[in-house]
Amino acid sequence: MAFDTLQLLAAKFSLDGHPLQAMKCLEASLSLSPMPADAAQVRLRAARLLLQHTTNLAEVKQHLQKAAWTSAVRRSLVPALGTEGVITAVGEALQAGGEEVHDSPAVQQVKLHFNVLQIIYAIRLGQYDQLVKLPEPSKDNAPSNPSASTPVAITTLLELLGAVAASEGAAAYEWLPLEAQEGLVRLLASTILRGPGKVKPALAHVSQGLTAVDEGLRRLGVAAARGGGGPGGGDSSGGGGGRPATEQEVHHADVWVARALLVLRLLLVESRLQLHLLQSDYPSARGDVAENAELYGRFPLLLEALRPSLHMQAALYAHAVGAWGAAVAHYAAAAGATTDPLAEPQARCLAAMARVAQGGPDAAGEGMTLLGDLYGAPAQRVADCCERALAQAAGALLRLGAGGGDDPQDEARAAEAKARVMLGKALKSAHERLHSHQLVTQLLNTLAPLRLDASDVSGATQMLTSSFTLARAMGDLNGQVAALGVLQQVHIATHQADEAAQTSNYLARKKADLAARLAAAEADAAEHSAVLSWGL
């Protein structure tokens, strides 16, 4: 009785926005020595709360490990409970029960939840090197087999999701509605694939996730997409078909499920936006931001926690199309509004980078102001690998752009040396841990001129060749233009007239392609302007 009461109190505190009180209830329920299945469920809920509201990843890992250990230890004690006369019967019953439990809906749900939390934990630590691992080659896993090129983490998630979907009857343990579970799995899959530049399969996962989420919303009578279009959409006017247009019309009993689905929809479209930007598909990216802004406008209370995310989406679009002022404003707004200790430094770093790109005599000084204490010692200020790499890159750009003092030449040399070290560290993290091809491309394009200044022509050329290859594979036109521009400088500086002419012609074609795509982004002037000014 006490255990159930504490669980209800924890759920109430969590819904009311009191995570600390919810954690105290969960910890108290664990002290009651509950049954193994109940203990595992409580620990998973505790891990989820910690991930949502703290950066205490060590305690998250401890809860996840104990959830797995509890079941294994209790099962190992079962043979000791049998007597000599019934030990055979106990063994047979245990084997049959084990098979039954292994296939039960509740166990499949726990396994999926456990794996999802592990992947979120790895993403927060920047351990993409673990997430992008491919299966070991085998006879059944030939290169032509699609699963051979799919990371093991994604394959495992999809297999567990299939087992959950195939389970008959309602599970005693359900952490999210089935449609939301698929939406979250597809979101994680697209996130894992985006770093290595696998845009097409990532977009496919986003599409499947949106289909599942929209189906869940349709069951609740909620129109998902703009104008009720898209999968699972309906009449967004709130009239025809009785589909509610705003959160006030969502039935109170459906609010929690509706919020989970709406949050996932917004995050899936955000992932699609990032993939479209990676492909330099600016009109589609503009539409993604507008779609999420419209969804937020209809459900402002349910989606209030994601307002900083909307600013980041508008900022990324503005950054990509060269609207530097809007990009800086949105990054700053996101940094000021977020309560996420990892998202705040990321927004500040990107704001500083956008201000440097904007140029002007005050660019370096204002960039340093935006970066704040991250400028001095990013490794100590930021523990997360991704944010630390961004802070190092932003700090390096500011050092390269800062003017000298009493002895400009000596200060410039010292700043360049420090910047080179910081860029090298950021590149190592981006390549070895984050597996972010876009960040690697940008860092190589920044490091190459420094190599050229140091008379390392071969090193600069290799960097630019690698950068261009990665950018072309992703469809990143900005990255290609930047790499070709510096490569042309290398050819001119080394008096390679033929290579310089070829690079110049190729660069001109890429610039024309980029200009056409930027013009297409601005073709819908009203939507373009609305995205750039959203919430400012």
pLDDT in tens, 384-399: 678 788 889 999 999 9
238 confidence band (pLDDT: 50, 70, 90)? very low
Q: Mind listing the pLDDT tens digit for each residue in 154-212? A: 999 999 999 888 875 565 677 888 999 999 999 999 999 999 999 999 999 999 999 99
Q: What is the distance between the alpha carbons of residues 179 and 481, in angstroms, rounded to a whole number?
A: 41
Cβ–Cβ contacts within 10 Å for residue 374, how many? 24
Q: What is the rounded distance in angstroms from the CA atom of residue 477 to the CA atom of residue 321? A: 11
pLDDT band, residue 234 (cuts 50/70/90): very low
d(CA 94, CA 79) in angstroms, rounded, equals 9
pLDDT the model gives residue 145 = 61
Q: Which two tokens stand for residue 3?
A: 């255990």
Q: Do residues 327 and 335 touch, judged by C-beta distance below 8 A?
A: no
Task: Identify the residue with better confidence: 446 or 38.
Answer: 446
pLDDT digits (tens, 9 = 90+) for 453-473: 888 999 999 999 999 999 999
* 339 SS3 class: coil
SS3 state of residue 338:
coil
Tell me the pLDDT band of 242, cut-offs 50, 70 and 90. very low
- In this structure, what DSSP letter does residue 75 have? H
Give the pLDDT of residue 94: 47
Work out the angle at residue 62's Cα, subtended by the Cα atoms of residues 57 and 65, and round it to the nearest 5 degrees: 125
Poorest-pLDDT segment among 54-58, 365-369, 410-414, 479-483: 410-414
Instruction: Please give the pLDDT value at position 403.
Output: 55
Structure tokens at 525: 């002037």
Residue, of 131 and 6, whose pLDDT is higher:
131
Per-residue pLDDT at 350 exceeds 50: yes
Residue 281 burial (CB < 10 Å; 0-12/13-18/19+)?
buried
For residue 101, pLDDT over 80 is answered with no
pLDDT tens for each residue of 446-458 = 999 999 888 899 9
Which residue from 320, 473, 497 is spatially nearest to 465, judged by alpha carbons? 473
Beta bridge partners of 138: 141
Average pLDDT over residues 314-319: 98
Four-residue CA torsion sign, 138, 141, 144, 150: negative
Q: For a pLDDT cut of 90, what percent of the chain falls above it?
A: 53
Are the CB atoms for 258 and 250 separated by under 8 Å?
Answer: yes
Amino acid (1-letter code) at residue 461: T
Question: Residue 70: its pLDDT value, please?
Answer: 58
Helix (H, G, I), strand (E, B) or coil at 348: helix
Our CA dihedral for 68, 72, 74, 79, rounded to 10 degrees, sits at: 170
What pLDDT score does 8 carry? Answer: 81
Average pLDDT of the chain is: 84
Would residue 338 be called left, alpha or beta, if left means φ above 0 and alpha means ψ between -120 and 50 degrees? Answer: beta
Choice between 165 and 264, residue whose per-residue pLDDT is larger: 264
What pLDDT, on a 0 to 100 scale, did the predictor assign at position 415? 85
Task: Give tens-digit pLDDT for 481-522.
Answer: 999 999 999 999 999 999 999 999 999 999 999 999 999 999
The token duo for 180 is 């939301």
Structure tokens at 428: 């190592």
Classify 246 as helix, strand or coil. coil
**Strand ranges inside 283-336, DSSP E:** none
Structure confidence at residue 96 (pLDDT): 53
- Give CA–CA dist 274/245, Å, rounded: 27
pLDDT at 147: 64
Q: Where are the beta strands (DSSP E) in 140-278?
A: none
First to last CA, the chain: 51
141 SS3 class = strand
H or E segment at 263? helix 255-278
Alpha helices in 221-342 (DSSP H): 255-278, 282-298, 307-320, 324-337
Highest mean pLDDT among 76-85, 125-134, 271-280, 422-431: 271-280
pLDDT level of residue 227 (50, 70, 90 thresholds): very low
Query: How many C-beta atoms lie closer than 10 Å to residue 165's C-beta?
Result: 12
Q: Evaluate if residue 532 carries a pLDDT over 50.
A: yes
Question: pTM for this one?
Answer: 0.78
Q: Which residue has the higher pLDDT, 119 or 36?
A: 119
Beta-bridge partner residues of 141: 138
Contacts of 263 (CB under 8 A, 6+ apart): 302, 303, 305, 306
pLDDT at 534: 97
Q: Nearest to residue 507, comparing CAs of 471, 474, 481?
A: 481
Q: Which of the four pLDDT bands, split at 50, 70 and 90, describes residue 524?
A: very high
- Position 171 scores a pLDDT of 59
Give the percent of the chain with pLDDT over 70: 83
Read off the pLDDT of each residue in 130-135 and give the average, rounded to a whole number. 90
252 pLDDT band, cuts 50/70/90, is confident
Q: Which residues contact 315 (CB under 8 A, 6 or more apart)?
A: 326, 327, 329, 330, 331, 334, 347, 350, 351, 354
* Confidence category of residue 92, pLDDT binned at 50, 70, 90: low
Residue 81: band (very low, low, confident or very high) from pLDDT cuts 50, 70, 90: very low
